[in-house]
Structure 1
Protein backbone atom coordinates (compact mmCIF):
# COMPACT_ATOMS: atom_id res chain seq x y z
CA UNK A 1 0.00 0.00 0.00
CA UNK A 2 2.76 2.57 0.73
CA UNK A 3 4.02 2.05 -2.85
CA UNK A 4 0.59 2.90 -4.28
CA UNK A 5 0.38 5.95 -2.04
CA UNK A 6 3.85 7.05 -3.16
CA UNK A 7 2.84 6.70 -6.81
CA UNK A 8 -0.33 8.72 -6.22
CA UNK A 9 1.66 11.48 -4.50
CA UNK A 10 4.27 11.47 -7.30
CA UNK A 11 1.44 11.80 -9.84
CA UNK A 12 -0.02 14.69 -7.82
CA UNK A 13 3.35 16.44 -7.85
CA UNK A 14 3.71 15.98 -11.61
CA UNK A 15 0.16 17.19 -12.20
CA UNK A 16 0.74 20.19 -9.94
CA UNK A 17 3.60 21.31 -12.16
CA UNK A 18 1.72 20.64 -15.40
CA UNK A 19 -1.31 22.43 -13.91
CA UNK A 20 0.71 25.63 -13.55
CA UNK A 21 1.45 25.71 -17.26
CA UNK A 22 -2.10 24.76 -18.13
CA UNK A 23 -3.52 27.52 -15.92
CA UNK A 24 -1.09 30.10 -17.30
CA UNK A 25 -1.92 29.14 -20.90
CA UNK A 26 -5.63 29.36 -20.15
CA UNK A 27 -5.10 32.89 -18.81
CA UNK A 28 -2.86 33.88 -21.74
CA UNK A 29 -5.37 32.59 -24.28
CA UNK A 30 -8.44 34.09 -22.61
CA UNK A 31 -6.76 37.26 -21.36
CA UNK A 32 -8.86 37.08 -18.20
CA UNK A 33 -7.09 35.80 -15.05
CA UNK A 34 -10.22 35.64 -12.90
CA UNK A 35 -12.16 33.79 -15.61
CA UNK A 36 -9.25 31.35 -15.97
CA UNK A 37 -9.22 30.79 -12.20
CA UNK A 38 -13.00 30.26 -12.17
CA UNK A 39 -12.69 27.67 -14.94
CA UNK A 40 -10.01 25.91 -12.88
CA UNK A 41 -12.34 25.98 -9.85
CA UNK A 42 -15.17 24.56 -11.97
CA UNK A 43 -12.92 21.75 -13.16
CA UNK A 44 -12.06 21.06 -9.50
CA UNK A 45 -15.75 20.62 -8.70
CA UNK A 46 -16.18 18.19 -11.61
CA UNK A 47 -13.24 16.06 -10.38
CA UNK A 48 -14.51 16.09 -6.78
CA UNK A 49 -17.98 15.03 -7.87
CA UNK A 50 -16.51 12.25 -10.03
CA UNK A 51 -14.52 11.00 -7.02
CA UNK A 52 -17.48 11.22 -4.61
CA UNK A 53 -18.96 7.78 -5.45
CA UNK A 54 -15.60 6.19 -4.59
CA UNK A 55 -14.63 8.29 -1.58
CA UNK A 56 -18.06 9.09 -0.17
CA UNK A 57 -19.93 12.34 0.27
CA UNK A 58 -22.24 13.17 3.14
CA UNK A 59 -23.01 16.22 5.24
CA UNK A 60 -21.50 16.04 8.74
CA UNK A 61 -23.57 16.81 11.81
CA UNK A 62 -23.57 20.23 13.43
CA UNK A 63 -21.39 19.01 16.31
CA UNK A 64 -18.71 17.87 13.88
CA UNK A 65 -18.93 21.15 11.93
CA UNK A 66 -18.58 23.12 15.16
CA UNK A 67 -15.42 21.18 16.01
CA UNK A 68 -13.54 22.28 12.89
CA UNK A 69 -10.67 24.66 13.75
CA UNK A 70 -11.14 28.14 12.23
CA UNK A 71 -8.02 27.88 10.09
CA UNK A 72 -9.24 24.66 8.47
CA UNK A 73 -11.89 26.62 6.57
CA UNK A 74 -9.16 28.63 4.80
CA UNK A 75 -7.63 25.76 2.78
CA UNK A 76 -9.74 26.49 -0.29
CA UNK A 77 -8.74 30.16 -0.20
CA UNK A 78 -5.09 29.12 0.04
CA UNK A 79 -5.56 26.88 -2.98
CA UNK A 80 -7.14 29.78 -4.84
CA UNK A 81 -4.08 31.94 -4.14
CA UNK A 82 -1.90 29.19 -5.62
CA UNK A 83 -4.11 28.95 -8.72
CA UNK A 84 -4.04 32.75 -9.20
CA UNK A 85 -0.25 32.73 -8.77
CA UNK A 86 0.08 30.04 -11.42
CA UNK A 87 -2.32 31.88 -13.75
CA UNK A 88 -0.43 35.15 -13.36
CA UNK A 89 3.23 34.16 -12.93
CA UNK A 90 4.01 30.61 -14.12
CA UNK A 91 4.43 31.55 -17.78
CA UNK A 92 6.60 34.56 -16.98
CA UNK A 93 8.89 32.62 -14.66
CA UNK A 94 8.89 29.31 -16.51
CA UNK A 95 8.04 25.90 -15.11
CA UNK A 96 11.37 25.29 -13.38
CA UNK A 97 11.54 28.61 -11.55
CA UNK A 98 7.83 28.76 -10.64
CA UNK A 99 7.79 25.17 -9.41
CA UNK A 100 11.20 25.55 -7.76
CA UNK A 101 10.01 28.54 -5.77
CA UNK A 102 6.70 27.00 -4.76
CA UNK A 103 8.20 23.60 -3.87
CA UNK A 104 11.13 25.11 -1.94
CA UNK A 105 8.76 27.40 -0.04
CA UNK A 106 6.53 24.38 0.60
CA UNK A 107 9.39 22.22 1.90
CA UNK A 108 10.62 24.91 4.28
CA UNK A 109 7.08 25.60 5.48
CA UNK A 110 6.49 21.86 5.89
CA UNK A 111 9.56 21.45 8.10
CA UNK A 112 8.36 24.31 10.32
CA UNK A 113 4.79 22.93 10.49
CA UNK A 114 6.10 19.45 11.32
CA UNK A 115 8.52 20.77 13.93
CA UNK A 116 5.82 22.57 15.88
CA UNK A 117 2.93 20.24 15.01
CA UNK A 118 0.92 23.13 13.61
CA UNK A 119 -2.27 22.89 11.51
CA UNK A 120 -2.92 19.29 12.46
CA UNK A 121 0.42 17.71 11.58
CA UNK A 122 2.18 15.34 13.95
CA UNK A 123 5.38 16.73 15.46
CA UNK A 124 8.60 15.79 13.66
CA UNK A 125 11.69 17.56 14.95
CA UNK A 126 13.50 19.85 12.53
CA UNK A 127 16.79 18.03 12.99
CA UNK A 128 20.04 18.81 11.21
CA UNK A 129 19.13 16.57 8.24
CA UNK A 130 15.83 18.33 7.62
CA UNK A 131 17.45 21.73 7.93
CA UNK A 132 20.23 20.62 5.56
CA UNK A 133 17.53 19.43 3.15
CA UNK A 134 15.94 22.89 3.26
CA UNK A 135 19.29 24.55 2.63
CA UNK A 136 19.94 22.22 -0.31
CA UNK A 137 16.51 23.10 -1.72
CA UNK A 138 17.50 26.78 -1.55
CA UNK A 139 20.83 26.02 -3.27
CA UNK A 140 18.99 24.03 -5.95
CA UNK A 141 16.56 26.90 -6.46
CA UNK A 142 19.43 29.36 -6.84
CA UNK A 143 21.03 27.06 -9.44
CA UNK A 144 17.74 26.69 -11.35
CA UNK A 145 17.16 30.46 -11.30
CA UNK A 146 20.72 31.37 -12.23
CA UNK A 147 21.47 29.02 -15.09
Structure 2
Protein backbone atom coordinates (compact mmCIF):
# COMPACT_ATOMS: atom_id res chain seq x y z
CA UNK A 1 0.00 0.00 0.00
CA UNK A 2 1.50 3.38 -0.98
CA UNK A 3 2.68 5.63 1.85
CA UNK A 4 0.27 8.41 0.84
CA UNK A 5 -2.72 6.09 1.31
CA UNK A 6 -1.46 4.95 4.72
CA UNK A 7 -0.84 8.57 5.70
CA UNK A 8 -4.38 9.54 4.66
CA UNK A 9 -5.87 6.60 6.56
CA UNK A 10 -3.89 7.53 9.68
CA UNK A 11 -5.00 11.17 9.37
CA UNK A 12 -8.59 10.01 9.01
CA UNK A 13 -8.27 7.79 12.07
CA UNK A 14 -7.19 10.82 14.11
CA UNK A 15 -10.36 12.85 13.39
CA UNK A 16 -12.71 10.79 15.59
CA UNK A 17 -10.08 10.70 18.33
CA UNK A 18 -9.65 14.45 18.13
CA UNK A 19 -13.39 15.03 18.37
CA UNK A 20 -13.71 12.58 21.24
CA UNK A 21 -10.74 14.04 23.13
CA UNK A 22 -12.01 17.61 22.59
CA UNK A 23 -15.37 16.77 24.16
CA UNK A 24 -13.76 16.45 27.60
CA UNK A 25 -12.26 19.98 27.77
CA UNK A 26 -15.42 21.22 26.08
CA UNK A 27 -17.44 20.09 29.09
CA UNK A 28 -14.84 21.33 31.57
CA UNK A 29 -14.40 24.74 29.91
CA UNK A 30 -18.13 25.18 29.28
CA UNK A 31 -18.02 25.46 25.49
CA UNK A 32 -16.81 23.54 22.45
CA UNK A 33 -15.31 26.83 21.24
CA UNK A 34 -12.95 26.97 24.23
CA UNK A 35 -12.06 23.31 23.74
CA UNK A 36 -11.27 24.05 20.09
CA UNK A 37 -9.14 27.01 21.23
CA UNK A 38 -7.13 24.79 23.58
CA UNK A 39 -6.80 22.17 20.84
CA UNK A 40 -5.62 24.80 18.37
CA UNK A 41 -3.02 26.12 20.81
CA UNK A 42 -1.68 22.64 21.54
CA UNK A 43 -1.70 21.86 17.81
CA UNK A 44 0.26 25.05 17.08
CA UNK A 45 2.95 24.18 19.62
CA UNK A 46 3.14 20.57 18.38
CA UNK A 47 3.43 21.73 14.76
CA UNK A 48 6.16 24.23 15.65
CA UNK A 49 8.21 21.59 17.44
CA UNK A 50 7.59 18.92 14.77
CA UNK A 51 8.32 21.41 11.96
CA UNK A 52 11.61 22.50 13.53
CA UNK A 53 12.69 18.89 14.02
CA UNK A 54 11.69 17.63 10.58
CA UNK A 55 12.78 20.62 8.47
CA UNK A 56 15.71 21.61 10.71
CA UNK A 57 14.86 25.28 10.38
CA UNK A 58 12.24 27.98 10.13
CA UNK A 59 9.71 28.23 7.30
CA UNK A 60 10.35 30.39 4.25
CA UNK A 61 8.44 33.65 4.33
CA UNK A 62 9.33 35.02 0.90
CA UNK A 63 6.20 35.40 -1.18
CA UNK A 64 3.77 35.29 1.74
CA UNK A 65 2.44 38.71 0.81
CA UNK A 66 1.68 37.44 -2.70
CA UNK A 67 -0.76 34.78 -1.53
CA UNK A 68 -4.37 35.30 -2.65
CA UNK A 69 -6.74 36.62 0.02
CA UNK A 70 -8.55 33.32 0.31
CA UNK A 71 -5.36 31.44 1.27
CA UNK A 72 -5.59 33.16 4.65
CA UNK A 73 -9.12 31.80 5.25
CA UNK A 74 -7.59 28.51 6.40
CA UNK A 75 -7.79 29.70 10.02
CA UNK A 76 -11.55 30.33 10.06
CA UNK A 77 -12.09 27.06 8.16
CA UNK A 78 -10.19 25.22 10.88
CA UNK A 79 -12.19 26.98 13.59
CA UNK A 80 -15.49 25.92 12.05
CA UNK A 81 -14.28 22.34 11.48
CA UNK A 82 -12.70 21.86 14.90
CA UNK A 83 -15.41 23.58 16.94
CA UNK A 84 -18.14 21.93 14.88
CA UNK A 85 -16.76 18.43 15.39
CA UNK A 86 -16.18 19.15 19.08
CA UNK A 87 -19.79 20.26 19.48
CA UNK A 88 -21.32 17.51 17.34
CA UNK A 89 -19.43 14.43 18.61
CA UNK A 90 -21.06 14.20 22.05
CA UNK A 91 -24.52 14.84 20.57
CA UNK A 92 -24.37 12.59 17.51
CA UNK A 93 -21.80 10.01 18.57
CA UNK A 94 -18.38 9.83 16.95
CA UNK A 95 -19.33 7.48 14.09
CA UNK A 96 -22.32 9.56 12.99
CA UNK A 97 -20.35 12.80 13.35
CA UNK A 98 -17.50 11.50 11.18
CA UNK A 99 -20.00 10.17 8.61
CA UNK A 100 -21.61 13.62 8.45
CA UNK A 101 -18.20 15.35 8.25
CA UNK A 102 -17.08 13.13 5.36
CA UNK A 103 -20.43 13.63 3.62
CA UNK A 104 -20.07 17.40 4.01
CA UNK A 105 -16.55 17.20 2.59
CA UNK A 106 -17.70 15.23 -0.46
CA UNK A 107 -20.73 17.45 -1.16
CA UNK A 108 -18.79 20.71 -0.81
CA UNK A 109 -15.89 19.30 -2.85
CA UNK A 110 -18.30 18.60 -5.69
CA UNK A 111 -19.39 22.26 -5.62
CA UNK A 112 -15.78 23.48 -5.56
CA UNK A 113 -14.99 21.25 -8.53
CA UNK A 114 -18.17 22.13 -10.40
CA UNK A 115 -17.53 25.86 -10.34
CA UNK A 116 -13.73 25.67 -10.49
CA UNK A 117 -13.40 27.80 -7.38
CA UNK A 118 -10.09 28.99 -5.91
CA UNK A 119 -7.99 28.01 -8.90
CA UNK A 120 -9.46 24.55 -9.52
CA UNK A 121 -10.26 23.32 -13.00
CA UNK A 122 -14.05 23.15 -13.35
CA UNK A 123 -15.51 19.63 -13.52
CA UNK A 124 -19.12 18.97 -14.43
CA UNK A 125 -21.57 17.30 -12.06
CA UNK A 126 -22.22 13.95 -13.68
CA UNK A 127 -24.32 11.05 -12.40
CA UNK A 128 -21.07 9.11 -11.93
CA UNK A 129 -19.83 11.82 -9.52
CA UNK A 130 -23.15 12.64 -7.82
CA UNK A 131 -24.23 9.05 -7.08
CA UNK A 132 -21.37 8.37 -4.63
CA UNK A 133 -22.17 11.64 -2.84
CA UNK A 134 -25.78 10.53 -2.51
CA UNK A 135 -24.58 7.17 -1.16
CA UNK A 136 -22.36 8.96 1.37
CA UNK A 137 -25.35 11.00 2.53
CA UNK A 138 -27.56 7.91 2.72
CA UNK A 139 -24.87 6.07 4.68
CA UNK A 140 -24.42 8.97 7.11
CA UNK A 141 -28.18 9.07 7.74
CA UNK A 142 -28.25 5.30 8.30
CA UNK A 143 -25.33 5.48 10.75
CA UNK A 144 -27.17 8.19 12.68
**1:54-73, aligned counterparts within 5 Å?**
54-55=54-55, 57-61=58-62, 64-73=63-72
* Counterpart in the other structure of 1:42: 41
* Unaligned residue ranges in structure 1 (runs of 5+): none
* Unaligned residue ranges in structure 2 (runs of 5+): none
* Counterpart in the other structure of 1:144: 143
Aligned: 1:10 with 2:9 = yes
* Counterpart in the other structure of 1:23: 22
Deviation at 1:86, TM superposition (A): 2.2
Number of aligned pairs?
A: 142
* 8 Å CA contact retained: 1:24, 1:87: yes
* Higher alpha-carbon deviation: 40-49 or 51-60: 51-60
Deviation at 1:33, TM superposition (A): 3.4
Instruction: Give the TM-score of the pair, scaled to structure 2.
Output: 0.85
Distance (whole Å) between structure 2 residues aligned to residue 122 and residue 44 of structure 1: 32
RMSD between aligned residues: 2.0
Instruction: Give the TM-score of the pair, scaled to structure 1.
Output: 0.84
User: Alignment partner of 1:137: what SS?
Assistant: helix
Distance (whole Å) between structure 2 residues aligned to residue 39 and residue 137 of structure 1: 31
Distance (whole Å) between structure 1 residues aligned to residue 133 and residue 69 of structure 2: 29
